[in-house]
Amino acid sequence: MNEWTKETSEARNWFETLRDRICAEFEAIEREAGSDASFEYTPWSREEEGNDNPGGGTRGLMKGKVFEKVGVNVSTVHGRFAPQFAASINGASEEHPEFTATGISLVAHMANPHVPAVHMNTRFLTTQKSWFGGGADLNPPIPYDEDTAEFHAAMKAACDPHGADYYERYKEWADDYFFIPHRSVHRGVGGIFYDHLECGDRAGFDANFAFTRAVGEAFLSSFPRIVRRRMNSEWSAEDRQRMLEWRGRYAEFNLVYDRGTLFGLKTGGNIDAILMSLPPEAAWS
């Protein structure tokens, strides 16, 4: 089996640092709203027969006045894919099912319908190959052009220094990926999505890791500003109903199509951490 590598440790340390900074910023927003809500952290350990070093992670969860439910999870796990699942993973196979994975996953469902929900995830995986993947997308029940433009501008600023075509390519990938085929609607107003940025050598790792860090910084610089802009907006019962129905679509996507949900369930992840993306309340008309 793969052992923890220097690169895995570097990526894990960054994801944990990013988690701490994001959680501190979200708690600061709660204080500004007059709330004392804080994140509760629950560690978990992965179990796998015959594996004495399977890893685990920490689930961070907060329920407050602004953030009705927000989860920020970091996990670092190590083991073997089930044979049938291995064939679907880049660099893995039935003959070589070993993997190591580390990443951060964030989903925020907001109390005010005028504040967009959001998702952000970045990760580093090693099989017979190693690569980065991730992205972030905005999911407003009531879209505002100003918020959409700011979020996309931040993602573009993260992309441009690393590849002239990155933003357009990864924006299109997000539009294609965050789509609900059975409803023929997008999950939100998009963002970026990337995967399989392979690290064939140290230079490749450094370049792709720098891009992944830029995505995390772009999220941290843009989303809290959008929250602060909208969190005191007045809203109606009709606005709340609209939000609940959009949450239902979000839940449908994550349970039916989301790769991260499937990966977590197929690799023995913590069920509560995997399903923390689901909203605390939703509605179907």
Segment 40-50, tens digit of pLDDT: 999 988 766 66
Q: Convert the pLDDT of each residue in 239-250 to its tens digit.
A: 999 999 999 999
For the chain, percent of residues with pLDDT exceeding 70 = 97
Mean pLDDT of the chain: 92
Name the pTM for this structure.
Answer: 0.92
Domain boundaries, the chain: 6-277
User: In the CATH hierarchy, which fold is given to the domain comprising 6-277?
Assistant: oxygen-dependent coproporphyrinogen oxidase (3.40.1500)
| Residues composing the chain | 285
CB 179 within 8 A of CB 186: yes
pLDDT of residue 2: 44
pLDDT at 50: 67
Q: Tokens 């997000």 sit at which residue?
A: 174
DSSP string for residues in 188-204: SSEEEEEEEEE-SSHHH
Q: Does the annotation mark 119 as catalytic?
A: yes
Pick the catalytic residue: 109, 119, 152, 186? 119
Q: What beta strand segments (E) does the chain contain?
A: 40-45, 55-62, 67-80, 98-110, 117-126, 130-139, 179-180, 185-186, 190-198
